[in-house]
Each structure stands twice: as structure tokens, then as C-alpha cells.
Chains A and B, each alone.
Chain A
Amino acid sequence: MAEAMIEFQSVTKQYQGGQPAVDQLSMSIDRGSITVFVGPSGCGKTTSLRMINRMVEPTSGTITVGGRDVTSVPAAELRRSMGYVMQSSGLMPHRSVVDNIATVPRLNGVSKADARKRAEELLDVVGLDPSLGKRYPSQLSGGQQQRVGVARALAADPPVLLMDEPFSAVDPVVRDELQQELLRLQRDLAKTIVFVTHDIDEATVLGDKVAVFAVGGKLAQYATPEEILRAPASEFVASFVGRDRGFRHLGFTTADGVAVHPVETVTRGGDAGAHPDSWRLVVDEQQRPLGWEGPGLDSQLIPGGSLFRPGDTLRRALDAALSSPSGLGVAVDGDGKVAGVVKGAEVLSVIESARRARQGAL
């Protein structure tokens, strides 16, 4: 059992003359893990997050961080000990990127030169070119701004990071990159991260544990993402998690048992007969997949589906097969070269045997 870093004890937040925004919340957040608060609008997830750094004061109950009641520390000092990342990057438009990142160290009395030096290092940590440091936030893209927001939150090396829907305003491709980047950072940093989102997919990708909130500020289920998808605790959780939960649950099992078959490939530009009688994979000189040529299609290149990489999950394997025009999911190796293909039916039989194995284990 992991050690608790943040604890809510019967915490209630009630605004004047209304339903409670958070109702008798008791939960324990593990040190060094990512805990995701997820739920529909008005479920109290953001309010709960903001009570941790006292942006919102609870009506009753106590919250402790590292064993200390948060009300025992002056609010400003408490907040400086926690990184905070918000949806609209919240960067100060009148300060350069480097000075934005240096904000909290400067508030803590670190000299300007030292704080800037640290800020420049952090640009590198979050995957940004140090030359961006002199720019103003408005000169960065949305995804870059969010990276700067993360760097700013990390600047004073706080043990706790609070993230309030940080990736919900960027487009899906950038969001995916930022999520992977956060997971990569977390492997090195092992912060205690509390992450708020309304997106159950994001919650299951990022969370070591996921807390599903129901409207009215009640905690509906608090478990690992795998368990929430496999065994929702109530109708509400099941409907919130959505119809695809069976498919998404496949994202927790690696597809090691799925066979990779050889496939006929043809190099682009090479003359290999204009009318193939079966599906052929078109590759470039480095053997990287470009698309498919199909029977009766005049060597016209048809874009391929998603790729299946070593170590990927059953979900990726099945998606590779389902999204491919030939029905064959393209498997690539670590360098992106074609390794072969996976077949949908075989992925399904691996899924079925995984299910049997799980039942046998119960």
C-alpha cells in the first residue's frame, strides 16, 4: 500500500443557499502517483482540487498534505509549495517565457539570475527549445504555452502538482503528445500529481488511480483505471465511462500473444506490376509503411490505418487491424520499419483467452 500524501477527511463545500458542491469527501491520495479527478460539469472535481491549495476554503472537514493540515500554513506559502497548471495556460502576457517560469522561485526570494538559469533548464525538461525563453507567451503555440505552464509549475520543485484540465484547450494530436510527455516527466520526477479532467479517456491514460465524481460532489468510485473500466461500481460510473469501455479496457493488456505474419511489400516508385491480385503494402526505401495497393485499384496508394508497435496493447493491435483497408494491421519495429501484419480474428482470440485466464484466476 502506497503512502498517503494528500488526505481529504469528510470535506464538504457548500456555497450559500445551494446544493453542496462537494459532499462529505473522504479520500487518500498516494505519494508519487498521478490521481485523476474525473466527472461531468458541476461534480465538484475542480472545487476539490482548489481546496487542496486553499483557492477554495472547505465549509467543513480537513485536508492534510504530507500530514499537515493545510489551514495551518499561510495560504501564499502553501500555494508556493504546490505547482499549479490551469486550462488557459495562465501565463503572464507581460513577462517573457523565462520570467514566467521563474515566477515562484522569485516569490520565494531566489535571485533573478539563479531563477532564470533554472527556468532555462526547465525549458529543456519540458521539451522546448531554450531559444523560446526570450519570447512572450503570445508568440508561442497553444501546445508550447501548456508546456511552459508545466515548466512554471515545476520551477520551485514542489512535491505536489495540481493540474486543472491543463490539456483540454489544445487539439487532440497535441493533447496526446502532452499526455505522453507528462507520463515521461513523471517517471523521472515522481511528483504527487492531482489532475482534473472531464475526459474519461485522458483519465484512464494518465491516472495511476481515478476518482469518478458524480453531480452533487459525491465520490462515485475511486480505483485504478483498469478496475473502473472492468467493474464500474454503479450505473452512474458505467454510463459515464461510456459504451466503449470494453474496447478501452483492452488498453491495459499488452498484445504480446498476438502473432505477426509476414506481408508482401513493394517499394514505392519501383515497377512491380500495375495490377496486384491481392493487397500489397507499399513502403519507402527505409522499409517504412506508406499505404496499401489493392486488387483492381490501378496501383493507387490507399492510406494505411494505425500502426502496431512492439509492446503496444491489445487495443492498439485490434485498432491497427480494424483501421487498415486490407483488414491486416501493420506491425512496425522500434525504428518504424515494417515487421509484418496482425490479423483481427487472431487479436480477438488472444482477447478471449486473456478473459478466460482472468476468470480462472478469480
Chain B
Amino acid sequence: MEWFLANSPMVFERAGQHLVLALVPMILGLLISIPLAQFSRRHSALRQLVATVSSLLYTIPSLALFIILPPLLGTRILDPLNVIVALTIYAVALLVRAAMDAFDSVDDDLRQAAVAMGYKPAARFLQIDLPLSLPVMFAGLRVVSVSNISLVSVAALLGVGNLGMLFTDGLQRNFVTEVVVGIIAILLLALVMDALLVILERVLTPWTRAGSIGTGAKAQSGAEFLADAKVHAGAGS
């Protein structure tokens, strides 16, 4: 605790770096995955291919990727860009499948209804498919958030600044407190990010929590129907 208090500015700086390295790839991954999923979802061969390739991508060890990328990108080994690119690849690997599932979860009758009302394809996608896919999409985002926050720490082995450096530094100095502070900080970061995503989802999808009488009401009795009509007649007179 004393060590943490003495070094808190450093820990917070590392946490900030950690967050940027985790968050930027998640957003980039989302921006790449949505169009990719929407396009490949509708062609069964392409869909298979994308699903397989994305699984394979996720099996590449992160350390290997951090080392391979600099010569491919022409960056220095210490460049945070390597981490951003690597984690974006992992984010896409997870999110493209989540996004395909998310778009599949939208009732096709609703798409038909939107077409029948005269939506053009782009407007339909943005106003109907995208919002309705949010609940499933957020499930995928929460996995990516946790995955990215944990993977970023690996980049500390290369010397890219983040909370993982508390591990490498603590290990070299044989100083357990620093390692423990690192673990707790990463855990807290993951929890806070997850909570923020849950709140964001709640704000963006208010309709999912509207009390539902609709499902059971398909077989609603005429009596209730008439009661509604009476209420209405009363209001009109």
C-alpha cells in the first residue's frame, strides 16, 4: 500500500496507457467487423470462410504477433502502433462472429416490414438492423473488452508502456507488491470497462426493459379488448 501511494502517479499513467491500448483496437475492430459481418453474412461460403479465418486469427499467440508486425508494418518494435494493430486483429476475430450473430438475431419479418414501408437498404441497415442487433453486439463487445485488457499486458515484455510493466518490473526486482498492484489494477480496469459497457447498453436499448405484456397477449381475451375500447370511448366523449 505504501508502495502504491508512493508510486500512484506512475500507476495511473500506466493505467491510462493500458486503457488507450485496449480501447482503440476495440473501436477499430467494431468499425471493421460491422460492415464485414453484414457483407459476409449473406453469402454462405464467405460466411464459413470468415468464421474459420477469424477463429484461426485468435489462435496466433499475441507475443508472436507483436514480434512479426514491426517488419510487416515497417514500425519500430517499441511503437504502440504494433499493439494497436495486433489487438485490432483479435478484436475483429471475436467481433465479426458476434456481429454476424447479432444481425441474425434481428427478426426477418421486421426487415420485410421495413422494406415494405419503403426503406432504402442503407437507411434500413442504420435505423433497423443496427439498433436491433445491439443486445447481441454488446455481449460480443464485453468479451473483447476483457480480452483486450488482458492481452495488452503482454506488450510490456516488449517495453510498450502499460500496467503489464508492473509485472515485468516486479519480476526483475523480485518485488511481489508491485506485481500484486498490477494484477489488482488490471482487474479493476476490466471491471470498470465492463460496467461502463453495461450502462451504455442500457442507455442505448431502453425498449428491451419495457415491461412486456405483448408476448402473452397474443391470445388476449375479447373482454380485455372491449375494456380497452370502453376506455377509449370514455376518453372521446
Enumerate chain A interface residues (CB-CB to B < 8 A).
53, 55, 76-80, 84, 86, 88, 90-95, 103-104, 107, 124, 127-130, 135-145, 152, 162, 169-171, 173-174, 177
Contacts and interface: CB of A to CB of B under 8 A. Distances in A.
B118 A141 contact: no
B9 interface: no
Contacts of B114: 92
A173 B205 contact: no
In the A-B complex, the 3 residue pairs with the closest CB atoms: A90-B113, A173-B222, A80-B118
A171 B220 CA distance: 7
A139 B213 contact: yes
A93 B205 CA distance: 10
Contacts of A137: 214
A93 B219 contact: no
Given A90-B110, A141-B213, A84 B116 contact: yes
A93 B115 contact: no
Given A140-B214, A174-B225, 7 more contacts: A79-B117, A80-B118, A84-B113, A88-B107, A139-B213, A141-B214, A141-B218
Given A90-B113, A174-B220, A107 B207 contact: no
B236 A141 contact: no
Contact of B219 (A77, A95, A135, A171): A171
Contact of B229 (A80, A127, A136): A127
B109 interface: yes
B210 to A, nearest CB: 4
A129 B231 contact: yes
Nearest to B213: A139
Contact of A177 (B110, B205, B222): B222
B207 A138 contact: yes
Contact of B225 (A77, A84, A141): A141
B134 to A, nearest CB: 8
A107 B117 contact: yes
